[in-house]
Structure 1
Amino acid sequence: MEDNMAVNRKGTSTKVASLAADTLFKPGSSQIARKLAGSALSQSKTNRQTGAKMEDLASKVLRSDRYSEKTKTLAASVLSQSNKKR
């Protein structure tokens, strides 16, 4: 049985979901931005949590100076929805 304290019930906000959708449809979006956008959208209005690989990617994006503020916003949203035990 899953420990309720480890479950993260946060979801993607409407603003971030809109940014994620725009990122997916924008031809110039990077592969990393698209991955983060897909993850953020998949967690919109669901109880899904971020997987370990996406947590790692989002963490690396946030620590880097290479990525735009929009990509970092997506990364922060994805990371905030991670499993609390990890």
Structure 2
Amino acid sequence: MKNTNQTGKKAARLAGKTLRNNSATAKQRSLAGSALAQTRTNKTTSKRMETKASDALRNSTDETTRSLAGSLVSQSNKKP
């Protein structure tokens, strides 16, 4: 069954802020771009982004990175 979750308003707002932030890291920008691409669409997280987001959740202590990564992981089709 396809995952129909979409990026929520709070996550989309954070993603937009991250993309406008000049000091955001490349990883944060990548996660933010993917999250925004999934706003108001039925798109799901790609395998590559699933891996990147999962990695960020395991290894990052930054709140913004973890929030964006969590949003992407929740939209993946990967089965538990």
Please indicate, yes or no, whether the TM-score normalized by the shorter chain is above 0.5: yes
TM-score under structure 1 normalisation? 0.88
- 1:79 aligns with one of 56, 73, 79: 73
Q: Which string of whole-angstrom CA distances, capped at 9 and with x for unpartnered residues, describes residues 29-58 of structure 1?
A: 000000000000000000000000000000
CA RMSD of aligned residues (A): 1.3
Residue 23 of structure 1 and its aligned partner are, at CA, apart by 0.2
TM-score under structure 2 normalisation? 0.94
Gaps of 5+ in 1: none
- Tell me what 1:20 maps to: 15
The percent of aligned pairs where both chains have the same amino acid is: 46
Gaps of 5+ in 2: none
Which structure has more helix as a fraction of its residues? 2
Tell which structure's C-alpha radius of gyration is larger.
1
| Residue type of the alignment partner of 1:39 | S
Aligned residues: 80
Runs of at least 4 residues off by over 4 Å? none
